[in-house]
Amino acid sequence: MESVLENNYSTATIEQLPFATREMNMRLLVRDNNLYSGAFNYKNVQFSVDGNAGPFRVTSQSEEELWETGSTQTITWDVANTDDPNSVNSLFVDILLFNDSWNNFDVVLAENVTNNGSYTIIVPVLPSLNDYRVIVKSSDNIFFDINNSSIFIVNTQNAVVSIDTTTIQLTLPSDSILFYEREIGNIGDIGSILIYEPIIEINRSGEGFLSFDGVDDYVDLGANMLSGNGNFSISLWARSQFSNQVIIQQRNGGWNGEYQLNFGQDGQINFWTYRNGYQWSVTSTDFYNDNEWHHIVVVQDASIDGGRMYIDGSEIGTNSNGIVYLDGGIRTYLGADMRDYVNYFTGEINDVHMFNGAISGPEVNVLFNSGFGFNTTFDHDDFISSE
């Protein structure tokens, strides 16, 4: 299709358009992306090419033109023997209009008109846009062509938007869904087209972080967040003024393949790992339970047979007491020790990210200096660990 839009008929993207008499057998194959039970399906299609017909070409609008809505325009095309009842036998065509911005073919200018090479249409009511193109296609066959240049359609009628602008106030309980409709109308000139892009402004309390009350709040992140003895990294922001509280953990009654990040007894930040005994762990020397936001990153790094911790962009400690083999079957929780239902967190947690790899010091700095909302799903701003 791209080749046709660029008027390149001799070297198409897939293969040159066929003009010799031949039978073509094609197969459309579709596959899904299921990693565990992938499937596919296909359909076969067969059609014939008549070497005595074609090429079928739109010959009008070969240069840029300006059309005004309501005006009459003539579309011409080279029938090229496609109406011969002894060969292709396509006696009728449809004429369509499309625009690159719409990416569809919904504007029908004429249907089932005689395939005689010429037809006059009335330009319908359309918005003023560039890059319209005309398509002439067989009504009962698969061949078509597109004119060679862009058409600019001008709609001189003025549109005026009509909408209820009163403020919408909503009070919703958690886990609820509300459908609210507000009609947008056009009270402008007859024949005008209203084009708009809605902008929604939502004012809501809070700053978008998770808040924990220290009584019974927690978040269950599920199983298989981290697994195995490979490198990993955990990055998050936390704020609290209390001690002996769990920020995040992967821990259960089985003891093995665990970790926990917490505010320690005096407000230090502590991270430990366990499998058949404690493995690497790091505890800060400074206290961070000052009710200020702090960026915390822990990294398991096989190159040092242990790991390291960063706080607010700076490395505050390393340990080489052995990497941990994490059990992916153990669930991960935010805000509490849900193995023993203790050490509930009082404060806020934001921007939790987990990586199946050891992020570098410069990447930690990017995460810290970028603040809340940094997009870790693609590489940018010296951050290269999106995978």
253 or 369, higher pLDDT: 369
For residue 250, the model assigns a pLDDT of: 95
Judge contact between 57 and 19, C-beta under 8 A. Answer: no
Average pLDDT, integer, range 244-255: 90
Q: What residues have CB less than 8 Å from 168, skipping those under 6 apart?
A: 180, 182
* Residue 352 CA from chain centroid, whole number: 20
90 in the Ramachandran plot: left (φ > 0), alpha (ψ -120 to 50) or beta?
A: beta
* Residue 358, number of CB atoms within 10 A of its CB: 19
Residues of the chain above pLDDT 70, percent:
89
Cα(354)–Cα(124) distance, rounded to whole angstroms?
Answer: 54
Judge contact between 328 and 232, C-beta under 8 A. Answer: no
Distances (CA, A) of 112 to 51, 82, 146, 338, 354: 25, 15, 17, 70, 59
Domain 1-157's class? Answer: mainly beta
198 or 43, higher pLDDT: 43
* Confidence at 163, pLDDT banded by 50, 70, 90: confident
- Dihedral angle of Cα 254, 258, 260, 264, to the nearest 10 degrees: 70
Phi, psi of 352 (to 5 degrees): -85, 125
pLDDT of 76-130, one tens digit each? 999 999 999 988 999 999 999 988 766 565 789 999 999 999 999 999 998 888 8
Please report how many Cα atoms fall inside a 13 Å half-sphere around the Cα of residue 137, on the Cβ side: 16
Q: Is the pLDDT of residue 18 over 90?
A: no
Judge contact between 186 and 157, C-beta under 8 A. Answer: no
Lowest mean pLDDT among 3-7, 179-183, 231-235: 3-7
Domain ranges of the chain: 1-157, 210-370
pTM: 0.51
Q: Which CATH number fits domain 210-370: 2.60.120.10, 2.60.120.200, 3.40.50.11540, 1.10.260.30?
A: 2.60.120.200
* Confidence at 201, pLDDT banded by 50, 70, 90: low
pLDDT of 365-386, one tens digit each? 999 999 988 888 777 777 887 6
The mean pLDDT of the chain is 88
Q: What residues have CB less than 8 Å from 167, skipping those under 6 apart?
A: none
Cα(308)–Cα(289) distance, rounded to whole angstroms?
Answer: 20
